[in-house]
Structure 1
Amino acid sequence: MGGACMTNTVAIIGANAAGLTTAMELRRLGYDGRVMLFDAEMEPLYNRPAVSKEMLSGEFSDPSDTPLVRADILEKMHLELEFGNRVLGIGTAGRLDLSGGRQVGAEVMVVATGGLARWPAQVPRLQGIHTLRTSRDAMALREALLPGARVVVMGGGVIGCEVASSAVRRGCDTTIVDIAALPMLRSIGEGAGRVMATVIEEAGVKLRLGEGIASVLGPSRISGVVLMSGETLPCDVLVIGVGMVPNAKLANDAGAENDNGILIDAHCRTSLPGVLAVGDVTRRRSTVEGLGDRSETILNAQIQAREAASTILGLELPKAQPSGFWSDQFDINIQAVGKVDRTVSHWLKPFNGQEGVLLQFSENKLCGAVGFNSGRAIARIRRLLSVGDRRPPEELLRDPKLNG
């Protein structure tokens, strides 16, 4: 893909963290061509993590309370904002088909369409059943989280646990049901998962782990859920938090290669000429370890956006960064960096009810960490991962700089 002088118009589809960061990075790198930013939502430029945190708890009343970017900065970027305007198709020769019959052209397109909430086949679409992806979802769920409401959260991943944290804080009788043995197991690993199981239960949330929901009761409004064990839980509100599916229809219809996400290379290029993709909708192509996993985090979206901007301008890719995510729940800030599942763990600082740092090792080399209210320690560990620190566990655990 050529340099900035060969690209007059870039069209970015999706005004989320991935799409907006792509636009901001293009401007930061000196691109002064036309940048169009499309989104079907009327007010899409809000922080998505706040949907399951501050917006759900009531700390923020609407999306304008948590903007992705300040209005003055957005104005200086001179973007063409096409909000409330759905892109219906992307065609050959750089054509975008828009709702209302309009067509626009762009030499380069960036697909940042994110994901859609996964809806299990055994769950009918009854009143009282919610998913959580947008600000509208958050406001509808917030109205349902009344004191005393019997809330069942289907899925004990990061979003499910954040929802449970908000629900129990609002006075709801809250239960998490998950087939996994520990909460957030895929995201934080076994050792940190055991810590969070204790934290969650001490906060008053009931955990039904190693269980799944077999069916839902209620003719028009949910009244209960039947577990795979046969037990019935009364339920006024069911929150489905079992992950997302890539919102890849636009690229799929155009013929992009897809395997549980739009397949992209190291430069965020799809199989379609002139079309890149970034964020939750993507999956890396084959590496020496096979197909890469989809990484549904803000950090990954931002990393890929910077890679895409560099690719569009014909520049060298930014230096690789360790993956990671953060979550605020049950009065604890959780930060994870690097690889944390299927690894050997050692406590750098055992969890004391408030703070703790768990290091993760693979083949006797540091590969990740999980921190509880320990942002400074995680920042230091991120730097070690960035430079490829190869010290064995016993040596790292004695490092005073890491332990301070």
Structure 2
Amino acid sequence: MNPTRWTRGNDLQLLENGEEFFPRVFEAIAGAREEVVLETFILFEDKVGLDLHAALLAAARRGVQVDVTIDGFGSPDLSERFVGTLCEAGVRVHVFDPGLRLFGWRTNMLRRMHRKIVVVDAQLAFVGGINYSADHLMDYGPQAKQDYAVQIRGPLVGDIHRFVHAMLAEGTRRQQGVRRWFRHRPLLRKRARALPPAGDAQAMLVTRDNVRHPNDIERYYRLAIRAARERVTIANAYFFPGYRLIRELRRAAGRGVQVRLILQGEPDMPIVTMAARMLYHHLVHAGVEVYEYCERPLHGKVALVDDQWATVGSSNLDPLSLALNLEANVLIHDRAFNRTLRARLDHLVDTACRPIDRDTIGEPTRWQLLRSFVVFHVLRRYPSWLGSLPRHQPQLEPAGPPQVREAAP
């Protein structure tokens, strides 16, 4: 299920970094009365993970139905005690493709569950790029990540709620004992009722998977850039997109649109910056403004176009996110939200970024031109190459003993 439809009447609030995100999520879980559904790529057993653990335990112990889905590659080292106490309290912990280790090496690197979604009581949702780990807090030090999420109230929450339950049903339908639980759906149908307006924003959940919606997020990016008349600003941690998206950026700059890219200057993985820099000549010489964020690692996946369109989510603009991982972004049509996001990104550019211009990159050598030419044209073809790899169906495995609850009569 991929509910790609615009809904009106939503209230959306931008949350920057763990300092804004974690208190909102933990407060929402603490106030949950019926249900918490949480998906995340990374859950570490550090101070943030332990705070989340405590909030989920407390919710389950007061009778809230709690489902937590973690990725087997992103969250491989949770202790038996951490997971076991959740299961004992009634939390259903699902692991996406745990994978096997071969001589100590993890074999499940490709096609990850990279979404970060929370839905509480089918009334409040969070979508973004922030994982549950202490490196999303400023007190972590120079390697603390810069990132964003969005808090959502209104009819869009109903779409997100239906999506996460469809993914749970699809991923767990083969588990022993879970089939019976998913046949009892009167409570879920009640929760999925249409929600009243909570604001003025139009918004839409867009996801990518490896079966029905392999290109949706990239396609909406390209459509928005193609329609741009004044500005395009993209802040993205891992930037190595396909040829068509680069072409749209170059064309937009060519017709006078201000196109700005905010990329990593202090990367958490050096290969990421090395790959992005191979594209700088093509971008800068086409009129695209490139900035490297140098204060700390950039982990954000946000963008805005003109004065109304924006997106916040989990999807990077690289081969993993655009052609392999399971991702989720929220698209937003709202001037107030766009204005808030633009102010935050302008602040990054003004205070913590270095511009990459023709003087910075200099005149390319023949080797650089050849390398860039090869990379540029490989970008045209990698989606079809990666798409030919074996594809994961959404498969979840329970962590700990299966937790089976009968629905209330």
Task: Give the TM-score of the pair, scaled to structure 2.
Answer: 0.25
Identify the structure with the greater helix proportion. 2
Greater RCO, 1 or 2 (C-alpha within 8 Å, sep 6+): 2
Structure number with higher strand proportion:
1
TM-score normalised per structure 1: 0.25
